[in-house]
Amino acid sequence: MLDGKVAIVTGAARGLGREEALELARQGARVVVNDLGVSGDGTGRDTSAADAVVEEIKAFGGEAVAHFGDVADWNDAQAMIQTAIDSYGDLNILVNNAGFCRDKMIFNMTEEDFDSVLRVHVKGSFCSLKFASIYWREKAKAEGGPVYGRIIGTSSEAFLYCSVGQPNYAAGKAGITALTLSTGFAVQKYGVTANVICPRARTRMTDTGGLLSEMFAKPEEGFDTFDPANIAPFVAYLASPKAEHVSGQVFTCCGENITVVGRPDVTTPENQFHNQGQWTVEKLDDALGPYFASRKFGDGYALPGA
Ligand SMILES: NC(=O)c1ccc[n+]([C@@H]2O[C@H](COP(=O)([O-])OP(=O)(O)OC[C@H]3O[C@@H](n4cnc5c(N)ncnc54)[C@H](O)[C@@H]3O)[C@@H](O)[C@H]2O)c1
């Protein structure tokens, strides 16, 4: 499906990114395997993991090159886009996947916990989106027609459910969603699609030793719902010519299920209240008071099974 295409997968040394890089390569894409090689909380640096994925791809006859840069570093991100162009002459697919967590309740979260998680997710997506978009726009103008471009952003259900112990991560994933879809509006006229996935799979991010590890554990028999390899074919599909008309969407994906969340959309709100002229506090209470009287915070947000 992806013969001749050039892809970048960020954070591709392990977990979901590794599976996505392998699948894109199996489908024929030449892949830039980006990874800074950090630990689960974003500290440290190690190039060996990205190298290992490149070797895995080469072992089955695929083409790949490693890039060890930090996705949230302006110069590194520009160099990453340039690596695709210099190595393989083009860029067609950008999978923004790199990230890490620093989960804490809001009461205990430090400024550094907040800044570092927002940095890797939001700025980390922004930098590559910016330089890829410039490349695609210039190429479309030079060629006088649309290019082949695919953007896949990696958000999370932590954003959709606003998960309580992850205020930094949920905010970062909201940022990725808005940023990816905003970029999609800007680049659609150049032939580029942009979609967002909210995956769920067993990786070191979810293997934290608690309830999540138990929920995501590999079953003794039957389908392994949380195998991270389950997500990769969907990313390859979104990256493929077959998904030409799939754009501006948010999906959740886990195991055997792909759910179209759709585009965050104000045209189909839950409800709308209208007043002729300016609202007063009293009129607002008359209208909204009964509507919300029986609700409490969190209604409609709880994770299934939680
Ligand atoms: N596992 C899940 O259930 C789940 C759920 C929702 C979203 N996600 C998202 O999927 C993505 C992949 O996560 P994962 O579960 O595979 O975790 P993971 O820790 O296995 O992989 C993340 C990779 O990103 C790399 N990385 C981190 N910071 C980087 C940086 N600044 N520059 C380059 N690389 C960097 C890490 O070195 C690591 O290899 C993340 O964005 C995560 O938030 C995962």
Report whether pLDDT(302) > 70.
Answer: no
Give the rounded percent of residues in the chain with a pLDDT score beyond 90.
89
15 Cβ below 6 A of ligand 1: yes
76 Cβ below 6 A of ligand 1: no
pLDDT digits (tens, 9 = 90+) for 236-245: 999 999 999 9
Residue 205 Cα to ligand 1 midpoint, Å, equals 7
Residue 15 Cα to ligand 1 midpoint, Å, equals 7
Confidence tier at 92 by pLDDT (50, 70, 90): very high
175 Cβ below 6 A of ligand 1: no
pLDDT digits (tens, 9 = 90+) for 15-51: 999 999 999 999 999 999 999 999 999 999 999 989 9
Interval 241-262 mean pLDDT:
96
Residue 173 annotated in active site: yes
The confidence score (pLDDT) of residue 268 equals 83
> Nearest Cα to 78, choosing from 118, 132, 116, 7?
132
Ordered by start, the domain boundaries in the chain are: 6-262
16 Cβ below 6 A of ligand 1: yes
153 Cβ below 6 A of ligand 1: no
Report whether pLDDT(125) > 80.
Answer: yes
| Residue of 8, 38, 177 to mutate, ligand 1, most atoms within 8 A of C-beta | 38
Residue 117 Cα to ligand 1 midpoint, Å, equals 11
Q: In terms of pLDDT, which residue wins out, 114 or 270?
A: 114
Ligand 1 atom nearest to 200, measured from its CA: 3
| Residue of 121, 125, 203, 230 to mutate, ligand 1, most atoms within 8 A of C-beta | 203
Ligand 1: residue whose CA is nearest its atom 27: 99
Residue 41 Cα to ligand 1 midpoint, Å, equals 10
Task: Tell me if 12 sits within 8 A of 22, measured CB to CB.
Answer: no
Residue 40 Cα to ligand 1 midpoint, Å, equals 8
The confidence score (pLDDT) of residue 179 equals 98
Please state, rounded to an integer, the average pLDDT across all residues of the chain. 95
Residue 301 annotated in active site: no
Interval 268-294 mean pLDDT:
94
Ligand 1: residue whose CA is nearest its atom 30: 70
Q: Which of 156, 163, 240, 247 is catalytic?
A: 156
The confidence score (pLDDT) of residue 306 equals 39
The confidence score (pLDDT) of residue 269 equals 84
Report whether pLDDT(216) > 70.
Answer: yes
Q: In terms of pLDDT, which residue wins out, 269 or 111?
A: 111
Residue 182 annotated in active site: no
Write down the CATH number for the domain with range 6-262. Answer: 3.40.50.720
Residue 101 Cα to ligand 1 midpoint, Å, equals 8
Report whether pLDDT(248) > 60.
Answer: yes
Ligand 1: residue whose CA is nearest its atom 6: 156
The confidence score (pLDDT) of residue 303 equals 55
pLDDT digits (tens, 9 = 90+) for 41-77: 999 999 998 999 999 999 999 999 999 999 999 999 9
Interval 266-291 mean pLDDT:
94
The confidence score (pLDDT) of residue 300 equals 65
